[in-house]
Structure 1
Amino acid sequence: MVSSSVMALALLLGGQASPPQTTQLQPDPQPTEAQADLGEVTVLGRSLDSRVESFIEEVAAPPKGVGLARWHRDVCIGVANLAQPYAQFVVDRVSEVALDLGLNTGEPGCKANVMIIFANDASDVARRIVSEDPDGFRPALQHTDLGRDALDRFQNSDAPVRWWHVSLPVSADTGDLAIALSSDDEPPSLTVRGSSRLRSGIRNDLARVIIIVDMTQLGETRFSALADYLALLSMAQINPDAEVSSEASILSLFNSGTLQDAMTDWDMNYLRSLYEAPGDRPNPAYQAREIGRVMVRSKQAASDAGGD
């Protein structure tokens, strides 16, 4: 797949999100919108608060010492090495989730900041794009990614889907880049106005997401389910080692005996809570608690209204 890899590199390293022309995947060209209600797995003896706390602890994967990042600018989705109808289906699904979260999506031809690459030689592609743009994967600023060891795992993973998130610490008031300290053990610092015990004045913005799909490991995975999986990864920093079993989640797509059909209400509640909760709390634990509170409040409101 020399031509495919070259195309992926061109898109990832600053190219535009244009319609890809090659494909190895041939699903139904008219994938239907998944509407299945998967419900939830009820764990007896555990409160909703406990379930939410456990889920966030399991799936959230921010860089060391900082809070979870989210998008605060237009999201532009690029898809490489997939024929146009299927690439457009992925772009549309990721865009749909982004719009649901209150984000704007880029126009056709925009510079991709979410790059989804389909490949038969996923590890080779991963190693190639990292070697071509090392600063893009690990910027000079501290606390923007999961670190050198995690990047090595990204390049050599045998998972069906692998991903890499880059975030930047910025002023919550102006969006200006924060000044990172030299020590790996210290969070970024910035002189801000209005900081307090409840508000640091610094938030973390997603800057780049790279996802590589190993087409040789998809098996009988439904294309619509895969698109939902990719949409969730595009919007949030997810732990690649997360084993979600206690709650119905699209994140169990590749580690569960039961194939999920779509992103669940639990998944969307998590994303909406991540984007609704304040992002400039003084420490990661405080932010996680805020996200949890929003999730619990939303679930309880849905229950009171006769929902799940």
Structure 2
Amino acid sequence: MFRHLSYLLAFSAFTTSAALSAQDDDTNHSEAPENQIVVTGEREKEAQQRVNEMTKAITRRPKIDKPIARQYGDICVGVFGMSADYANGIIGQVEENARALGIRVSPEGCRVNTLIAFVRDGHAELEDLRKSAPWLFESLLDYEYKRILRGSGGAFAWHSTKVKEVDGKEMAMMSFGDPPRDVVVSDPFTASNISQQIRVDMIGSVVLIEKSLVPGKTIRQLADYISMRSFASVDDMASDGPNTTSTILSLFTSNGQAAEGMTDFDWSYLEALYKLPSTAHGSTVHDAAWSAYRKRALKIDDDRTSD
């Protein structure tokens, strides 16, 4: 079971960017060309409604008032549970997607902080990890752990995060009040730091995918799905329908009609997310994603000047 991965995580502490294991790889794989999504005949108002509804459906908004989490440091990708060749193909595509968004990629031999694991029973392995590697969940609140279980049912994703100053400096913990309450503040602390702007860094991400979901999926589809779940705090789709916007997040619920890669919506969402100010909150991604989608899919650019 996943105890092999738990042991590896506990003692290697993410120490290699290579494919971590080729155990139990009994799936068939094929690769298809990149999907090209063309938006035609869709009125702008209808498109906006669909994009806004999709953005609202997938975005994991924090219950407390803090900025939306993003990758600020270098990522180091590792794969467990697939053959080396297949794992390296996924790693290469995830890294390519990261670079397209301006996310830096660590050189070979780095410490893995973006882990992808293909497992037999996702729920069982998730519970096993909570016991054997609790440090993977230490930044999560109870409601955030429950969100991991939402979605398609066979794929699970979460991030370890850290609150920092807006310029990336580390923050300290101090106690205030009676009874005392721990508060994150700037280090060194000054009175003016109480209202200091902050950002939320993703310092690690984990994506678990059940092996039963893999047959019939291409390297591109899996890598693009993993990229969406790794680079943004989003849920996948529990179901899809004729009125939903095409997204790679419906990869495991699309009944054979899945997108062949990240769609215009997916790229628009990620590009918007990574162009927002570091202090931006979850609600701001809605307008930003629609603006990016208008330019990418509908070819409407309000910044263009007429002759």
TM-score for the superposition, normalised by structure 1: 0.78
1:89 match: 89
Q: Which moved more, 1:117-126 or 1:41-50?
A: 41-50
Q: CA deviation at 1:264?
A: 1.0
Uncovered stretches (5+) of structure 2, i.e. residues with no partner: 303-307
Is contact 1:119–1:215 with CA below 8 Å preserved after alignment? yes
Amino acid at match of 1:148: D
Is contact 1:60–1:68 with CA below 8 Å preserved after alignment? no
Map 1:142-291 onto structure 2 (within 5 A). Answer: 145=140, 147-151=141-145, 154=148, 159-177=153-171, 201-240=197-236, 243=239, 245=241, 246-257=244-255, 258-281=257-280, 283-285=281-283, 287-289=284-286, 291=288
Matches of 1:73 and 1:22, distance apart in 2: 28
1:104 match: 104
Q: CA deviation at 1:223?
A: 3.6
Q: CA deviation at 1:262?
A: 1.0
Amino acid at match of 2:9: L
Larger radius of gyration: 2
Tell me which of 293, 298, 303 is aligned to 2:295: 298
1:142 match: none
Uncovered stretches (5+) of structure 1, i.e. residues with no partner: 140-144
Matches of 1:244 and 1:158, distance apart in 2: 10
Matches of 2:262 and 2:34, distance apart in 1: 10
Q: Which moved more, 1:91-100 or 1:212-221?
A: 212-221
Amino acid at match of 2:122: A
> Structure 1, residues 262-289: CA drift from partner, whole Å, max 9, x if none?
11122111111100111213x543x335
Q: CA deviation at 1:122?
A: 2.5
* Structure 1 pair 244–179 and aligned structure 2 pair: CA distance change class (3 A): farther
Identity among equivalent pairs (%):
21
TM-score for the superposition, normalised by structure 2: 0.78
Is contact 1:126–1:154 with CA below 8 Å preserved after alignment? no
Matches of 2:266 and 2:89, distance apart in 1: 20
Is contact 1:101–1:271 with CA below 8 Å preserved after alignment? yes
Matches of 2:53 and 2:18, distance apart in 1: 40
Q: CA deviation at 1:131?
A: 1.2
> Structure 1, residues 119-145: CA drift from partner, whole Å, max 9, x if none?
113223222222123233123xxxxx3
Amino acid at match of 2:164: V
RMSD value over aligned CA atoms?
Answer: 3.7
What is the SS of the residue equivalent to 2:157? Answer: strand
